Amino acid sequence: FPGTMSGKVLAEILSGKVNPSARLSMTFPRAVGQIPIYYSELSTGRPHDRIEPYHRFASRYLDESNSPLFPFGFGLSYSQVEYTEMKAKEGAGKHYVTIQVRNTGVYPTKEVVQLYVQDKAASVVRPVKELRAFEKISLKPGETSEVAFELTDDLFSFIDNEGNEIVEAGEFILFIGQHALDDRFQLTVQR
């Protein structure tokens, strides 16, 4: 139940008085046969290949796309936001990954910048991609903002088979985007 003020809020969103900026906290399947579907699926020996979806040995449905209807972290706005220039930076003995975010629309907006991490090889099976950090920023029309994420051990840690939180050395891929399937901006780092 959306509450007693849902009508007023919905009217403000539909009339353009309020610019929506929320993001989905779950993945919406395209068809019932995709259930269970979630963004942090574990990697398999026959992963789905989005570039070549009909590869002979890839995991896929016969009559439906593997992609969800709406991915985790997806959201709409009355404005358009453009991501550019993902970079690794250092400062004061700390490491960061940054991205430029620009409001190219005519309305002020809020954007949720999401950082996902993929562990290329670990002692236990890791998800293909995990949301590890996010930041919500406000942008006026034409405004550009640099969003920085500090590369702390928390971004790369996981629970091992003994129940301990650990960080293993290795190769990690960092993704910054608007939702879980947005992999236009990625950077490989060594830990």
For residue range 94-104, what is the model confidence (pLDDT) as tens digits?
999 999 999 99
Contact in structure between 106 and 122 (CB atoms under 8 Å): no
Whether the CB-CB separation of 21 and 112 falls below 8 Å is answered with yes
Name the domain count of the chain. 1
Low-confidence ranges of the chain (pLDDT < 50): none
**What pLDDT score was predicted for residue 62?**
64
Q: CB neighbours (10 Å) of residue 121?
A: 9
**pLDDT score for 56:** 58
Q: How far apart are CA 170 and CA 47, in angstroms?
A: 21
Domain assignment of residue 98, given as a range: 6-190
Q: What pLDDT was estimated at residue 66?
A: 74
In a domain, 48, yes or no: yes
Within a domain: residue 1?
Answer: no
Cα gap 120→138, rounded to integer Å: 33
Q: 102: domain CATH number?
A: 2.60.40.10
- Radius of gyration (C-alpha) of the chain in whole angstroms: 19
The pLDDT value recorded for residue 41 is 72
Encode pLDDT of 57-68 as tens digits: 566 666 677 788
Residue 82 pLDDT: 97
Domain assignment present for 175? yes
**Interatomic CA distance for residues 155 and 187, integer angstroms:** 14
